[in-house]
A and B are shown apart, each in its own frame.
Chain A
Amino acid sequence: MRSFLLRRVLLALATLWLASSLVFLFLLFLPGDPVQAILGLEASPAARQALERALGLDKPPWERYADWLTRTLRLDLGESIRYGKPVGELLEERLPLTLGLVLLGLGGALFLALPLALLALRFPFWDLALTGLMALLQSVPTFFLGVVLLYALAVHLPLFPASGFPGFSNPWEALRHLFLPALTLALSRAAILFRMARGSLLEVMGQDYIRTARAKGVPETWVLFKHALKPASLPLVTVLGLEGGFLLTGAVVVEVVFALPGMGSLALTALEARDYPLLQGLVLVMAALIVLFNLLVDLLYGLLDPRVAYA
């Protein structure tokens, strides 16, 4: 178990290193430069040179890579060129919103998917309707779903704010602002969880001990809740983890629809400004989150499913 964990963590670190180095390499080929993006269209050459030196952009690529690597190993993400602030600070400002959105979206998806899957299994008429609806929801572009919800529940019926995020200091306001974006994510991702839950419930319902329970005269609803739900939720957990990584990027579009200042808008700004330290920091943090989600899934899977042995 311990050696498995160690190997898994080492692999995760290697993955992170490779991923961010690939991005570093990529950035070397990009046209455009941060100096121009800061100073703007009409700036004088003298002002350009001064800023270039100050940012260390006159060094050769290998030196910059070495600088970046040693800094990153010390967990120092450097300073954003665009904002003149430490990258870590900027990420700290943006990450809570995106993470909150992802977690709320995932929670909402689960909250929708599980009861509906139970409903579908309990009543065959609902099964077809719900399966169809879920397949359709999965096929609608996320942003379109968001726009429809936006116009319905923020513009036409002004129940929720249409844009922006005031921060978590006022939890009620924060939830109000996150409700529509999270609902959008939840609706579009519920389908996968629904299918997964339905599939594994079906499989569990075919097991012998369920048949035994039924034979003993336990009511069908009780069988579903008491005997089938827990074992069937194992695969659900793993899908949930994978979805977390996926949602991290899926959230970006929703952030744009609802004008939320999350990681997505930061990435768009960073690229436009050619803010390499910020972009690198974003890549690192996003990749780390995805790797972490995967790692957790692996571990959880092993913990929950006794059939998986750590070799």
Chain B
Amino acid sequence: MRKRLQLFLLVSLGLALAQPSGGELRVAILAEPPVLDPTASTSQEIPRMLYDNVLQGLVKFNEKGEIVPALAERWQGSPSSLTWTFHLRRGVRFHNGAPFTAEDVVFKFNRARDPKSGHTHPEYYQDIQSVEAKDPYTVVFRLRQPNQDFLFNLARPDSVIGPKGRMEEQRTQPIGTGPFRFVAWERGVGVRLERFEGYYEPGLPYLDRVFFRFMPDPNAQLAALRAGDIQVIGLGVSPEAALVLQRDPNFKVVTGFTTTEITVGMNNGRPPFNDLRVRRAIQHAVDKKALVEGVMLGYGTPIGSHRSPGESCYEDLSGYYPYDPAKARALLQEAGYGPNNPLRFTFTLAAPYPYERRLGEAIAAQLSQIGIQARLEVVEWATWLSRVFRGADYQMTIIGHSEPHDIGIYANPNYYFRYDSLRFRELYTRYLRTPDPKRACEIMKEMQRLLAQDAVNLWVMNAPYIAAMRKEVVGWWQNQPTPSLNVTRVYLSR
């Protein structure tokens, strides 16, 4: 008995040593979001700070990108995939003390599917015909037609649930059910979170306080990390800085995958890129491996279509167009370009994104080796949004598409790539309406192949996730299957 007690003490001591709770974690992020409600803006900074930490939905993504229970304990879909029943976790409270019930879920999704509500993505929810509370802990969704992405969409940051009736206040003072509660948003400075004592998972979270600081300048971030002002640079550490920090015993670098496809967008609706041969020539003319090695110092994974290796139903097409300058030249010649009539166009870069900027410059340099003259033009972000993204007034550009599972943008012919393919649209609809996940997966792979075949864009690489932190920070998410600096299980070892 005594021995057992000793063992118990040792074990609990060991646990206590391994996961000391308490303390404040200060994390630098690059930008300040316009609001703190993920349903009012698509700014990725909002979920980065709040997803799962403060705001939760029925289901959520884990570190690997799998869909796991959050506010719903379990769920089942009918064989037709038209009816979905969610059984809610009991005894959950919002940070303001109100109990979480089926009514909150009904309110949320009735608002989300109303296009006039100002919800940023009503299209995620347009197949929901009705959402009903069968009892306080059971919610039934009825769909108009099967939607393969239904569950995925429920796990997105857009689907987080707040107290019913609360809308305007969520923009600046978000209330959720997560392990941390929102304390303050100091404009221009940062967002403060505090441990929520009423959290439903026992023992979590470990930290007492979290402070997300807005530090737009990467150099200031590095200096602040070294000086101990912050313990974590949450994302976007430059590859060079990562190499330097890795050599320092006080710091560690955490890297993994994201869902960001760094994409050289080509305007398929305009010369010269309305010509498939030119688009294919571009694919052969760019050496992605050299870009990953040279520009990103080995961080990142080459891709060949609009999907990231960490996502489900991924097909590796990075070798679809091997690097082959001779073939690129031949294709260009076929399209009527040559030494006397070189291919010339403007390559628009958005100023604030360092990886993309640098990749764009390196790509232009590679293209120039086979006589393609890409004139680099740097524009400011707001200009990029209105001119390139909204107006499709460009020839070539480069940007990271960070939303997870966003291949559907190619089904919209008005999207800034101006890719108009009936076949792709049919495939996408078939994918959505196929209830069987395995068959849907096959279609998803076919979609990726079709995009590669049509060489719509040049997909360069999956952007690496690079964070840097002090050695004592443990439990940081290695990947970014969805934008989330998840601090639920993070602790400071001493």
Contacts and interface: CB of A to CB of B under 8 A. Distances in A.
* A–B touching in complex (CB under 8 Å): yes
Interface of A: 30-33, 36-44, 46-47, 50-51, 82-85, 90, 93-94, 147, 150-151, 154-155, 158, 161-165, 256-259, 261, 265-266, 268-269, 271-274
Given A257-B220, A273-B382, A40 B43 contact: yes
Interface stretch (B287-295, B385-393, B447-455): B385-393
Contact of A164 (B216, B219, B229, B403): B229
A47 B119 contact: yes
Given A161-B227, A163-B227, A269-B188, A39 B215 contact: no
Given A42-B120, A46-B122, A47-B120, 8 more contacts: A40-B42, A47-B119, A158-B228, A162-B227, A163-B215, A163-B223, A259-B221, A273-B34
Residue among A37, A40, A154, A268 having the largest count of chain B Cβ atoms under 10 Å = A40
Nearest to A81: B34
B188 A265 contact: yes
Interface string B380-403: 111101110110000000000001
A42 B172 contact: no
B220 A259 contact: yes
Contact of A37 (B118, B188, B217, B385): B385
Contacts of B473: none
A84 B120 contact: no
A266 B216 CA distance: 12
Given A47-B118, A266-B188, A32 B382 contact: yes
A285 to B, nearest CB: 15
Contacts of B189: 164-165, 261
B38 to A, nearest CB: 10
A47 B32 CA distance: 21
B418 interface: no
Contacts of A33: 382, 386
Contacts of B494: none
Interface string B400-411: 000100100100
B223 A154 contact: yes
Contact of B216 (A90, A155, A268): A268
Nearest to A165: B189
Contact of A83 (B34, B118, B219, B387): B34
B187 interface: yes
A84 B33 CA distance: 12
Contacts of B115: 44, 46
A274 B386 CA distance: 11
A90 B118 contact: no
B34 A37 contact: yes
A169 to B, nearest CB: 12
Contacts of A94: 188
Contacts of B172: 84
B156 to A, nearest CB: 11
Contact of B220 (A41, A50, A258, A268): A258
